[in-house]
Amino acid sequence: MEKRQVIIVGGGIAGAATAWALAEAGMTDVLLLEKAEQPGVHATGRNAAILRTAIPNATLQALALESAAFYRSPPAGFSPQALVDRVGLFLTAPAGEEAQNLLPWVNHGEEVDWQEVQAHHPYLQHQTARAWHFADEGVLDVHAILHGFLHLAQAAGVEIRYRTLVTDLAVDGTQILGVKVAEITPLTTSATTTLLAESVVLAEGGWAGRLARQHRTSAPAFQARRRHLMVSAVDHAIHPGAPVVWNLGPDEFYFRPESGGLLLSACDHVAVPAEEGEILDRDVLSYVAEKALRWLPGLENLAAAHAWAGMRTFPEHEGFHIGPDANLNGLHWAAGLGGHGITCAPAVGRLAARLLLGSRSNRGQSVEI
Ligand SMILES: Cc1cc2nc3c(=O)[nH]c(=O)nc-3n(C[C@H](O)[C@H](O)[C@H](O)COP(=O)(O)OP(=O)(O)OC[C@H]3O[C@@H](n4cnc5c(N)ncnc54)[C@H](O)[C@@H]3O)c2cc1C
């Protein structure tokens, strides 16, 4: 039976970046499996696309800064278009303790007056807040990034199969043997077959932990949290090149220009099973609208033109879950990227690839970052 060096489960940004990074490191006998008809249809295709490197966790911030440098200057052939629109980002917080707590991780930004934030967004309410400006940050082209990873991986020899559901891990004692898969169409699911591999990387996004559940792995508990995004109707007061504004603290709220209106988030984070992670909750949309009216009193038309929801998935420990499983030899993780998976993807992919290739010679310790 055919045997691969590496099988990756999941064609979101985590799986795509890992496939690319493995190929970059010379490992091209890789098969990426995705249950959907195309890549990036879940969290990777449903996010706010904001590049924000100020993150309250030093390890994640390092991954974000490494990735931001990649996005500003990607390798030749990665994408014909720019990966980041550097409109800038303002991070704000209520003056006092909230803002004081930000100081250790916003110090690579420039502190500015609230008036400067309002100069770009004149409809924004007045606040007693502190603000930091990050001139090189802004809006990522998620489609170009995802397809850049996949294109370079495929060009190097990585194979991608869509409509392929991984139903279980194939395991012998403490050794991974591969995965069990079924081909799916809108109406049918085929019989299960086994695909063999030396190593398996789980990059299942909101489904993280599902396949490992029936086996003795060192997987932490993962939790998918639903977040809604809304795009408001076109309003000529909104400048399309205005910076992103992200207010932290108890009244967390962010917005940025999108399609003539504003893309808005009230930063909701209800824990849900993955099957419910993309279902709109009308009460939450009312909450988004209420927050938007309060934050943006100067805008005439805050009607919702479009809204959707997606999953931010977290491991029970702080940070991402990347690297070899401590119990099941050959099993690896690229999961739990929470709300920073697009920002951090190039560095996450390279870290996952480095840990996988390293552990093939030196049986792995589990890595929580
Ligand atoms: C509303 C919202 C706003 C966000 N905003 C930002 C932002 O501004 N900036 C930022 O950096 N990040 C943001 N994020 C976070 C970011 O979107 C995620 O961290 C990232 O997309 C996670 O990627 P992933 O590949 O782990 O998951 P996914 O993109 O969900 O990919 C996982 C894939 O695995 C597949 N899969 C699962 N199980 C199986 C199986 N058994 N067999 C085959 N395939 C399987 C799924 O079909 C899916 O395609 C946001 C997220 C949300 C929801």
Residue type, 181: V
Residue 362: what pLDDT?
Answer: 55
Handedness of CA 97, 102, 107, 112 (dihedral sign): negative
The fraction of the chain above a pLDDT of 90, given in percent, is 87
- Ligand 1 within 6 A of CB of 50: yes
Residue from 35, 269, 306 whose mutation best tests the ligand 1 pocket (most atoms within 8 A of CB): 35
Distance 178 CA to ligand 1 centre (A): 23
| pLDDT beyond 60 at 342 | yes
Which atom from ligand 1 is nearest to the alpha carbon of 15? 25
Q: What DSSP assignment string belongs to 143-158? A: HHHHHHHHHHHHHHT-
pLDDT digits (tens, 9 = 90+) for 252-261: 999 999 999 9
Question: Quick check: 29 and 6 in contact, CB under 8 A?
Answer: yes
* Arithmetic mean of pLDDT, 20-34: 98
- Ligand 1 within 6 A of CB of 165: yes
pLDDT digits (tens, 9 = 90+) for 44-60: 999 999 999 999 999 99
Distance 13 CA to ligand 1 centre (A): 7
Which atom from ligand 1 is nearest to the alpha carbon of 49? 8
Between 104 and 261, name the one with better pLDDT.
261
As a whole number of angstroms, the distance between CA 214 and CA 325 comes to 14
- Ligand 1 within 6 A of CB of 195: no
Handedness of CA 15, 17, 23, 26 (dihedral sign): negative
As a whole number of angstroms, the distance between CA 49 and CA 138 comes to 8
| pLDDT beyond 80 at 7 | yes
pLDDT digits (tens, 9 = 90+) for 196-210: 999 999 999 999 999
Question: Quick check: 353 and 25 in contact, CB under 8 A?
Answer: yes
Distance 144 CA to ligand 1 centre (A): 16
* Arithmetic mean of pLDDT, 317-338: 96
As a whole number of angstroms, the distance between CA 170 and CA 150 comes to 26
Q: Give how far Cα 80 sits from Cα of 7, 70, 84, 157, 350, Å.
A: 29, 15, 12, 21, 22
Backbone angles phi, psi at 193, to 5 degrees: -125, 165
Distance 324 CA to ligand 1 centre (A): 20
Give the closest residue to 342 by CA, choosing from 201, 141, 160. Answer: 141
Which atom from ligand 1 is nearest to the alpha carbon of 339? 15
| pLDDT beyond 70 at 335 | yes
With cut-offs at 50, 70 and 90, classify the pLDDT of residue 97: confident
* Arithmetic mean of pLDDT, 330-353: 98
Q: How many helices (H) and strands (E) does the chain have?
A: 7, 20
- Ligand 1 within 6 A of CB of 311: yes
Q: What is the DSSP letter of 45?
A: G
3-state secondary structure of 352: helix
* Arithmetic mean of pLDDT, 219-226: 97
Q: Whose CA is nearest to atom 16 of ligand 1?
A: 341
Which atom from ligand 1 is nearest to the alpha carbon of 181? 42
Please give the domain boundaries of the chain with CATH numbers for all domains.
3-48+143-221+316-359 (3.50.50.60), 89-135+223-315 (3.30.9.10)
3-state secondary structure of 369: coil
As a whole number of angstroms, the distance between CA 146 and CA 138 comes to 17
Distance 235 CA to ligand 1 centre (A): 30
Give the closest residue to 367 by CA, choosing from 307, 320, 310. Answer: 320
**Segment holding 142, helix H or strand E:** helix 142-156
With cut-offs at 50, 70 and 90, classify the pLDDT of residue 297: very high
* Arithmetic mean of pLDDT, 154-163: 98
Distance 56 CA to ligand 1 centre (A): 21
Residue 368: what pLDDT?
Answer: 56
- Other beta carbons less than 10 A from residue 346's beta carbon: 27
Backbone angles phi, psi at 349, to 5 degrees: -60, -45
- Other beta carbons less than 10 A from residue 316's beta carbon: 13
* Arithmetic mean of pLDDT, 254-273: 97
Which atom from ligand 1 is nearest to the alpha carbon of 206? 30
Helix pair angle (58-72, 345-359), 10° resolution: 110
